[in-house]
Structure formats: structure tokens, C-alpha cells
Amino acid sequence: MILLCAFLVGIVAGLRSMLAPAIVSWFARENLLATGNTYLALMGYTITAVGFTLLAVCELVVDKLPKTPSRKQPLPFAIRILTGSLVGATVGATGDKVVLGIVCGAVGAVVGTLGGAAARAKLAVIFGRDYRAAILEDLVGIGIALFAILKVA
């Protein structure tokens, strides 16, 4: 179950690169994710949670702007894989499966990046506006992250 949850939070990182670390960090801060005495304990620091939250809020706004580059470009894609690995490791640490969590989170981020882009493009056509598809993608990402982490916590 832990590795599935690491994969799911990785998907969220693929949808929104900073949303997943923000949510995971707050759960770690509240000791609902057991990072122990590992380097991942930094995810439970208040400053980390606040920092990722500020970045996530900025990302949620910038994502809706017409000049925002595609998430599939090399740098945004790489950032999503890195944050997916980070959140996967943090979730994996709860079950002492950090390395497998990293892998599951990274794979989830790739799936979330490519699948999210494809789904959003189709939804934008259906809705007639990208903005509505983007809002729905935000809500789905939040829902998946909360579901996954609550299954582990």
C-alpha cells in the first residue's frame, strides 16, 4: 500500500510540481508521515511546509497564464520527476521503503506529467476553455494527494 501511495503522490507532482511536496510536507510536519531520523525529516520542518506551500500557491496561479511553458519541456519535466522522487521517498519512509518510494514517486511523476497534459488538453476541448480544465486538474491533484497520504498516515 505504501508504494502505491508513493506512486500516487508522484502523479500529483506530475500534475503540479509543488502541490505534492506542500501537502506531503504538512503531513510530515504533523508527524502523520514517519520520516524518522533520515534526511527526509526536513520535510516535517515548518519552514519547509510553508516554503512549499508558497511555491504551490504561486504555481497554481502561474499555471493558468497563457505564457506558461509546457510541463513536458525538459526543465519543468525534470522538476516534476525530482519532486515526485522527494514525495515518494517521504511516503516510502513511513514503511522503511525510501529507495522504492523514490522510484515509485518518479514513475508516478512521469505518468502524471504526460497523462495530466493529455487529459487537460481533452478537457479543455470539452469545456471550451483551458482554465476550467486547469481548475479541475488542481482539484483532482489535491484529492489524489489527500487520499494517498491518508491511506498511509
pLDDT digits (tens, 9 = 90+) for 110-122: 999 999 999 999 9
pLDDT at res. 35: 87
Contact 13, 87 (CB under 8 A): yes
Query: 93: Cβ–Cβ under 8 A, 6 or more apart, which residues?
Result: 33, 34, 35, 36, 38, 40, 101
- CB-CB neighbours of 106 under 10 Å: 24
Query: 102: Cβ–Cβ under 8 A, 6 or more apart, which residues?
Result: 85, 88, 89, 92
pLDDT at res. 38: 86
Which has the closest alpha carbon to 89: 35, 147, 51?
Answer: 35
> Which positions of the chain have pLDDT values less than 70?
none
Would residue 128 be called left, alpha or beta, if left means φ above 0 and alpha means ψ between -120 and 50 degrees? left
Q: Is the dihedral of CA 10, 72, 70, 137 positive or negative?
A: negative
* pTM (global) more than 0.85: yes
Tens digit of each residue's pLDDT (9 = 90 or more) over 1-15: 999 999 999 999 999
pLDDT at res. 90: 96
